[in-house]
Amino acid sequence: MPKDINGRRVSTASIARIREQDAERLSRHRLQPGDVVYSRRGDVERHALISPRETGWLCGTGCLLVRLGPRWPSSVFASFALDRAETREWIVQHAIGATMPNLNTGILTDVPLVMPPDAVLRAFARTGDPLQAFVVARDAEAATLARARDTLLPRLLSGELTVPDAKRLLEARV
């Protein structure tokens, strides 16, 4: 959902969940790595680049799914290009609606982007894509560690849990 788009990524802090049978029914909205998801209304200039972590998740009704296709060998490059101030400004200026900006696929199809030569895109992909994957993995690791801290720290401070017990709990999760 749009509230989950933050910093070119999907935030899982308050992500909605649905039953698997509902997800099966909505399977045509499943996300693939390299997809780009935009908020359909409101803060329309923000987007999230879908990583392998979000494979199979669903694009909510408040979002628009952009599947870049083979013309863009690096979805990471495309995401950075879409995040440029000039591009974001263009999207806002072309959004429909005076009270609340709205996007549609036609507007996103017309976004002007500079296409570097294929050799440059491929070179960027060889370096930039693995770096992006590393950042996503470290973010996920940091979130896991923050959850462990938030779960254990109050219990440790209150004396309800000892350090050796906390270590055993963490080792059992790994």
What is d(CA 111, CA 136) in angstroms, rounded to the nearest whole number? 26
* The predicted structure's pLDDT at residue 171: 80
Contact 19, 70 (CB under 8 A): no
* The predicted structure's pLDDT at residue 96: 92
Contact 90, 82 (CB under 8 A): no
Total structural domains within the chain:
1
Q: What is the pLDDT of residues 16-46, one digit of tens each?
A: 888 888 888 888 889 999 999 999 988 899 9
Q: Does the pLDDT value for residue 94 go beyond 90? A: yes
What is d(CA 127, CA 121) in angstroms, rounded to the nearest whole number? 10
Range(s) of the domain holding residue 68: 2-173
Stretch 50-74: mean pLDDT: 86
The CATH code of the domain that includes 76 is 3.90.220
* The predicted structure's pLDDT at residue 174: 59
What is d(CA 51, CA 33) in angstroms, rounded to the nearest whole number? 5
Instruction: Please give the residue that has the higher pLDDT: either 166 or 47.
Output: 47
Predicted TM-score (pTM) of the model is 0.78
Stretch 72-93: mean pLDDT: 91
Stretch 5-22: mean pLDDT: 84
Q: What is the pLDDT of residues 152-165, one digit of tens each?
A: 888 888 988 888 88
Helix or strand holding residue 9 (H, E): strand 9-10
